Amino acid sequence: MKRESILVIGANGQIGTALLPLLRTQFGQSHVIATDLRQPQSDQGLFELLDATKPDALTDVVRRYRITQIYHLAAVLSAKGESDPIWAWNLNMQTVLNVLEVARLHKVKKVFIPSSIAAFGEHAPKYDTPQMAFLDPATVYGISKVATENWSMYYHKRYGLDVRSLRYPGVISYQSMPGGGTTDYAVSIYHEAVQGHNFECFLSADTLLPMIYMDDALRATLELMDAPEANISVRTSYNLAGMSFTPAELTKAIQVHFPDFVTEYKPDFRQAIADSWPKTIDDSVAQQDWGWKPAFDLPRMTQEMITNLTPVYQPLVSTL
């Protein structure tokens, strides 16, 4: 078992909730420290309350546990960030700068800070968006991710800090509830379907977006972090692809399991955000550098989501 000391910031979020068990299996229960602003509901491992906007608090945790790797997963997402852009910018950027600087000062070996397809904007090619596309994001979340990518590359070039990153597509999972992202319709829809409800979608039926199932997103993260440093050619953030589909296509996939399921389409402000993003992603650089390849397509993901969510709602559904 690898002897590292891993710090996960934002451990209660969508990625953190699913990533923690894998990290603890890989590194050992006593070598993975979860942190967040609130206590977890069910996690039984090492946990510290941490506000990552406060550098002294972050420094204290890094020192006490002799941290060797940091996974910084805390951020205000796209749709939620638009409700208060200045707050979202300040939180997203202050935590990133604190993580990078504390990691530099305390010689942390590796840092993972994810980016997002939100980093792309209207001038990036919509289909097969390349690794080196022009970045002109339409949201404060996307702007903060572009800044994060540039700061990460700066810390690597100037200080030699081993910062690694993935531009996540919309991540779909059953482990946690939606967290305020524009792609989160593709999580909410499954929760409604397994309860026997119809779904009201805030995007139009033909809105094509890149998505990835959580298992693939986690595997990509761990494979990237395990790759030899010499293989890492991208120090901003790697493009990552899983699958692309529309709300109408997702609805049809669910109807294979629930034939009476219906989606109604009522686009809101999130439609403009989605329209500014890529429709398909070219992740050939990730494939070349560290062998990335997704395992889940839409039918397989749909089967997994329904299988895992049905027991959660079974007592409720049986009483209706």
Active-site residue, selected from the candidate residues 141, 155, 174, 238: 141
3-state secondary structure the chain: CCCCCEEEECCCCHHHHHHHHHHHHHHCHHHEEEEECCCCCCCCCCEEECCCCCHHHHHHHHHHCCCCEEEECCCCCHHHHCCCHHHHHHHHHHHHHHHHHHHHHCCCCEEECCEEHHHCECCCCCCCECCCCCCCECCHHHHHHHHHHHHHHHHHHHHCCCEECEEECEEECCCCCCCCCHHHHHHHHHHHHHCCCCEEECCCCCCCEEEEEHHHHHHHHHHHHHCCHHHCCCCCCEECCCEEECHHHHHHHHHCCCCCCCEEECCCCHHHHHHCCCCCECCHHHHHHHCCCCCCCHHHHHHHHHHHHHHHHHHHHHHC
Could you give the CA distance from residue 1 to residue 40 in angstroms, rounded to a whole number? 26
Question: How buried is 289 (Cβ within 10 angstroms: 0-12 exposed, 13-18 middle, 19+ buried)?
Answer: middle
Q: Kindly report the CA angle at 270 between 269 and 274, in degrees rounded to 5?
A: 135
How far is 154 from 143, CA to CA, in rounded Å? Answer: 17
213 is catalytic: no
Tell me the one-letter amino acid at 63: R
Active site members: 141
